[in-house]
Amino acid sequence: MSKYVETIAEALIDVLNGAAGSRDHRIEGYAANVDFWIDEIVHCVAAIDDFPRRQELFVDAVKHAADRIREAKIHDTLSGGVSADPTQLLYGESPTSIQIENYVEKTARLRARLIEAARKFVGRIRNEDLISVERLETVKAQLPFL
């Protein structure tokens, strides 16, 4: 899991849980910005769900770059330049099955916590009658896990 995805998810979870448990006058402020918060939830869930694809692209690009650099260093060595040190270019190796299992578990926990916080937030503004029925239906379409 990338530090960026973890950071935005944790920050959003904190805000949504805080909003859901806030005093009556403060929840109205959050409800007034419901479109923003829903967009943030959608973005964050997508960032979590799409991370494996982006990570695969990243690793492939790093491997390609490492291979290109390694070939250039070998060429330099063969032509009398500085010797190649293959230990300097190890990043980009495929993750182990244990790393993948840990990632899947960590991602699932983070996603579940985000969804729970989103449910609390939307539930609170719904219970306080701070969102119209029409808008709530739109929100449910955007966040089918609610």
Q: What is the pLDDT of residues 98-124, one digit of tens each?
A: 766 777 888 999 999 999 999 999 999
The pLDDT value recorded for residue 87 is: 45
Letter for the amino acid at 76? D
**Mean pLDDT, range 63-75, rounded to an integer:** 74
- Output the DSSP codes for 61-122: HHHHHHHHHHHHHHHHHHTTSSPP-GGGG-TTPPPPHHHHHHHHHHHHHHHHHHHHHHHHHH
Which domain range does residue 20 map to? 3-142
**pLDDT tops 80 at residue 76:** no
Q: In this predicted structure, what is the pLDDT of residue 21?
A: 96
Instruction: Determine if the pTM surpasses 0.75.
Output: yes
The 10 Å Cβ neighbour count of residue 21 is: 12
Q: How confident is the model at residue 74 (pLDDT cuts 50, 70, 90)?
A: low
Per the structure, the count of domains in the chain is 1
Burial 81-117 (b: 16+ CB within 10 A, else e): eeebeeeebeeeeeeeeeeeeeeeeebeebbebbbeb
